[in-house]
């Protein structure tokens, strides 16, 4: 057994042309050998989780309604590589925390904090579906018969998908209105899909030029998105390798691979069989990982070099969210842990001539400033906000050190303070450099944060002191997995050994949260565009405030302003509107008009006609509920139109009467349970009304009084 030593390990993504050297360049002949265009895309948009009477809530064809919203679900169908793909997608609601913030900086280093609005970013997760089942599954999804997409096996599910959609509503042709960026997996192939502009931004010298539109076949002429298989990456000699450097008491010097795998109590040890390269069997894969989904909320920063490469803070932000959307898919399907973003720190694209000592990591690239030094400075900075509750902080840069494109501290998830080890600062941090597949680098480095070492390669297996994660009895993992020391582009999963290592440490990761369970650090925040308690107004970001005549960036009204047009419904030209001015129109005969009172800048609370009042055509059986004229049958018909559902189930068994249970159109003796509930105010039970999906029984004495009154009227009629 290797002598026990306790230390921190610094893991670098490092490039080798000669595996005996710890430095050299990335293979200049690495390139993409093949690609195709995304042709004839067809987008079917619908709302996956919704109330049953909203006019949006129906299948919408691209030719009728081109705008995709952040909380929509959709199916995209397209042709590539002589086949048709069907991707069924839903919003990734776990990625951006509801109270997420973004801090941006001007060229002088002045910060502006604002809310990270999920509605600005079209981020989705989903599955690839069999072609012959796609239409049936789509109809089931529209009516809510199928549950949210998961990683478990479902009929027709051929693989997972993560997409970001870029939408340009100024484009007329359907093929150019939406471009797609992300990754999906089918069978043994992983496909990367991206806008042509993104491909050109990352294009290497030997990557193929994109064919001009005029030279393409007619069906590809207007395509603005390309697709390629990760296995289409060709390389003559190898490539980017990840090396390991230790900081600590084991006497390691420079870049070494020998870390004692038994040094941490959070990691399951393995033993080499004496005299051979076989290994003993370890604990079952997944032992220790959560049985219900958890989220690791993170902070992500982008230095000036990264922002400069992407040309704007907004484009850098979009790329970061795309990276985390894809990397999260790998962690969710493997460990039942999603990656969430709760804070972004986006620097100016102008690098400071002299780095600010409080954020020394934000500087331009320099041969004298290694990526490991950037990590150390970033870790020191992270420790200044140790009470922010982030499980990890990660830095995106465009400054690799030679071929080193990533670095992370091992087994430091949930570490929020900064420790000093020799000349290095250590915390729950990592750094990834810009590459054509950044999401893989991010996933790899976070794997180190969770405690995974590199997978073993053949040259390490005879060495019983090598620190690596072995695969089966052969030891060599053959470069098949994310934690491989060589950066292989065609990998999208963790090795069984890495899974066992990470899951073994999960019980100690106390910062993992249930979805939606993390309490925000602060409840209100000036600059998020939302008027909150203690604020006179809130005009949002600095550029928005510059155009606002009423509100100042400090959330105070400007001199002479009585209210804010952007935040107050009863405000116009910074003055309160006259009394009886309509501020909220009635949406139906069950809704009431709200008017300004001439005193307050706020519109009164939305109020409706009393629930249960008759509405609509006489004899139609419709009644008011939460401002809508509807019925149980109408709500089932609205949701299940495509499946020929026309009425509610009359007497569902063992189900709350406010759950959306409808009559099976093919059997009078069975019901179909759909996602969601009857809207609040719908009649249920004995004189009851639905509220948040449950039936709240009404006043029994009032009910009996109505019955007695009705009987009395009947007797009077019979005796008259």
The CA-atom distances, in angstroms, between 416 and each of 144, 357, 604, 612 are: 41, 20, 44, 54
**Total residue length of the chain:** 720
3-class DSSP assignment, residue 315: helix
Of 263, 299, 537, which Cα lies nearest the Cα of 416? 299
3-class DSSP assignment, residue 253: coil
pLDDT at 249: 20
Give 88's strand partners. Answer: 75, 127
Strongest mean pLDDT among 327-331, 485-489, 507-511, 645-649: 327-331
Catalytic residue among 445, 513, 536, 594: 445
> Quick one: tokens of 630?
């509807």
What sign has the CA pseudo-torsion 640, 643, 645, 651?
Answer: negative
pLDDT at 388: 87
CA distance 589 to 610: 11
DSSP 420-471: EETTEEESSEEEEE--TTHHHHHHHHHHHHTT--PBP-TTTTT-TT---B-B
C-alpha of 56 from chain center: 23
pLDDT at 66: 55
Fold classification of 7-17+237-508 (topology level): Collagenase (Catalytic Domain) (3.40.390)
Number of CB atoms found within 10 A of residue 580's CB: 10
Query: Would you place residue 19 in the very low, low, confident or very high pLDDT band (cuts 50, 70, 90)?
Result: very low
Is the distance from CB of 298 to CB of 339 less than 8 angstroms?
A: yes
Among the residue ranges 10-19, 150-159, 346-355, 542-551, the one predicted with the least confidence is: 10-19
Is the distance from CB of 645 to CB of 636 less than 8 angstroms?
A: yes
Query: Would you place residue 542 in the very low, low, confident or very high pLDDT band (cuts 50, 70, 90)?
Result: confident
DSSP 49: S
SS3 of 357-406: the string is HHHCCCCCCCCCCCHHHHHHHHHHHHHHHCCCCCCEEEEEECCCECCECE
| Higher per-residue confidence, 2 vs 636 | 636
pLDDT at 562: 96
Of 670, 625, 659, 666, which Cα lies nearest the Cα of 645? 666
Query: What tens digit of pLDDT does each residue of 674-690 get?
Result: 877 899 999 998 889 99
Strand (E) or helix (H) holding 660:
strand 659-663
Query: Would you place residue 324 in the very low, low, confident or very high pLDDT band (cuts 50, 70, 90)?
Result: very high
The answer to whether the annotation marks 454 as part of a ligand binding site is yes
The answer to whether the annotation marks 117 as part of a ligand binding site is no
Query: What tens digit of pLDDT does each residue of 74-87 get?
Result: 999 999 999 999 99
Domain spans of the chain, in order of start: 7-17+237-508, 36-234, 623-707
pLDDT at 244: 37
- Tell if the pTM clears 0.85, that is, is over it: no
Query: What tens digit of pLDDT does each residue of 622-676 get?
Result: 999 999 999 999 998 887 776 788 899 876 777 888 988 888 888 888 888 887 7
Listed in sequence order, the residues at least 6 apart from 205 whose beta carbon sits closer than 8 Å to its beta carbon are 28, 31
| Percent of the chain clearing pLDDT 70 (strictly above) | 77
Is the distance from CB of 704 to CB of 692 less than 8 angstroms?
A: no
Listed in sequence order, the residues at least 6 apart from 608 whose beta carbon sits closer than 8 Å to its beta carbon are 590, 591, 592, 624, 626, 627, 681
Of 446, 353, 356, 355, which Cα lies nearest the Cα of 396? 446
3-class DSSP assignment, residue 314: helix
> Quick one: tokens of 114?
């604002």
Is the distance from CB of 182 to CB of 190 less than 8 angstroms?
A: no
Query: What tens digit of pLDDT does each residue of 384-421 get?
Result: 988 888 999 999 999 998 878 889 999 999 999 998 87
The CA-atom distances, in angstroms, between 511 and each of 93, 264, 447, 516, 692 are: 19, 19, 16, 13, 30
Domain boundaries 623-707, corresponding CATH code: 3.40.1620.60
CA distance 465 to 468: 9
The CA-atom distances, in angstroms, between 70 and each of 37, 48, 67, 619 are: 25, 12, 10, 40
Query: Would you place residue 517 in the very low, low, confident or very high pLDDT band (cuts 50, 70, 90)?
Result: low
Neighbour-count burial for 286-322, b at 16+ CB within 10 Å, e otherwise: bebbbeebbbbbbbbbbbbbbbbbbeebeebbbbbbb
> Quick one: tokens of 600?
């307050």
Domains 7-17+237-508 and 623-707 equal at CATH topology level: no
Annotation marks residue 445 as catalytic: yes
């Amino acid at each position: 057994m290797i002598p026990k030593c306790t230390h921190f390990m610094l893991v670098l993504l490092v490039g080798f042309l000669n595996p005996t050297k710890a430095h050299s360049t990335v293979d200049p002949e690495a390139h993409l050998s093949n690609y195709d265009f995304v042709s004839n895309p067809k987008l079917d948009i619908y709302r996956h989780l919704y109330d049953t009477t909203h006019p949006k809530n129906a299948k919408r064809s691209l030719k009728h309604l081109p705008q995709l919203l952040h909380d929509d679900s959709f199916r995209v169908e397209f042709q590539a590589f002589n086949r048709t793909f069907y991707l069924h997608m839903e919003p990734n609601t776990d990625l951006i925390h509801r109270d997420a913030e973004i801090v941006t900086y001007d060229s002088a280093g002045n910060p502006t904090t604002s809310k990270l609005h999920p509605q600005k970013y079209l981020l989705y997760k989903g599955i690839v579906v069999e072609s012959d089942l796609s239409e049936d599954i789509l109809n089931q999804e529209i009516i809510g018969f199928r549950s949210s997409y998961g990683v478990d096996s479902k009929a027709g599910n051929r693989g997972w998908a993560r997409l970001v959609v870029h939408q340009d509503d100024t484009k007329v042709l359907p093929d150019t209105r939406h471009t797609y960026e992300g990754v999906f997996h089918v069978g043994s192939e992983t496909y990367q899909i991206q806008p042509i502009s993104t491909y050109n931004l990352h294009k290497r010298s030997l990557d193929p030029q994109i064919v001009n539109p005029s030279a393409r076949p007619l069906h590809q002429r207007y395509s603005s998105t390309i697709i390629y298989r990760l296995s289409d990456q060709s390389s003559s000699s190898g490539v980017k390798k990840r090396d390991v450097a230790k900081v600590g008491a084991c006497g390691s010097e420079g870049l070494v691979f020998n870390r004692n795998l038994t040094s941490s109590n959070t990691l399951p040890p393995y033993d080499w069989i004496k005299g051979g390269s076989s290994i003993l069997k370890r604990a079952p894969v997944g032992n220790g990982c959560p049985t219900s989904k958890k989220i690791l909320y993170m902070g992500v920063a982008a230095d000036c070099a990264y922002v400069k490469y992407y040309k704007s803070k907004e484009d850098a932000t979009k790329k970061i969210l795309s990276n985390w959307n894809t990397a999260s898919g790998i962690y969710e399907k493997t460990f039942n842990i999603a990656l969430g973003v709760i804070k972004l720190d986006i620097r100016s694209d102008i690098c400071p001539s002299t780095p600010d000592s409080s954020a020394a990591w934000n500087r331009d690239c320099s041969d004298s400033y290694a990526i490991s030094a950037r990590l150390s400075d970033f870790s020191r900075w992270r420790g200044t906000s140790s009470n922010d509750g982030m499980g990890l902080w990660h830095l995106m840069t465009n400054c690799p050190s030679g071929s080193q494109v990533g670095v992370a501290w091992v087994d430091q998830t949930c570490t929020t303070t900064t420790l000093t080890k020799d000349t290095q600062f250590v915390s729950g941090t990592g750094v990834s450099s810009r590459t054509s597949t950044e999401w893989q680098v991010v996933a790899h480095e976070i794997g180190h944060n969770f405690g995974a070492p590199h997978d073993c390669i053949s040259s390490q297996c005879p060495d019983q002191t090598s620190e690596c994660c072995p695969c089966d009895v052969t030891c060599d993992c053959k470069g098949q997995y994310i934690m491989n020391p060589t950066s292989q582009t065609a990998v999208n999963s963790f090795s069984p050994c890495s899974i066992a290592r990470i899951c073994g440490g999960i019980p100690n990761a106390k910062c993992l949260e249930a979805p939606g369970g993390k309490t925000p650090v602060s409840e209100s925040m000036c600059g998020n565009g939302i008027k909150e308690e203690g604020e006179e107004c809130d005009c949002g970001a600095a550029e928005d405030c510059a155009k606002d005549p009423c509100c100042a960036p400090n959330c105070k009204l400007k001199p002479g302003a009585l209210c804010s047009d952007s935040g107050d419904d009863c405000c116009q030209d910074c003055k309160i509107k006259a009394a009886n001015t309509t501020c909220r129109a009635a949406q139906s005969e069950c809704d009431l008009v709200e008017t300004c009172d001439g005193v307050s800048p706020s519109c009164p609370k939305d109020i409706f006609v009393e629930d249960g009042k008759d509405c609509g055509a006489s004899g139609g059986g419709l009644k008011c509920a939460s401002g809508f004229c509807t019925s149980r049958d109408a709500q089932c018909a609205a949701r299940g139109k495509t499946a020929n559902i026309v009425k509610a189930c009359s007497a569902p068994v063992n189900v709350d009467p406010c759950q959306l249970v409808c009559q099976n159109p093919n059997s009078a003796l069975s019901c179909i349970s759909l996602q969601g509930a009857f809207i609040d105010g719908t009649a249920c039970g004995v004189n009851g009304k639905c509220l948040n999906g449950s039936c709240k029984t009404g006043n029994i004495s009032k009910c009996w009084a109505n019955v007695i009154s009705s009987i009395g009227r009947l007797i009077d009629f019979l005796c008259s």
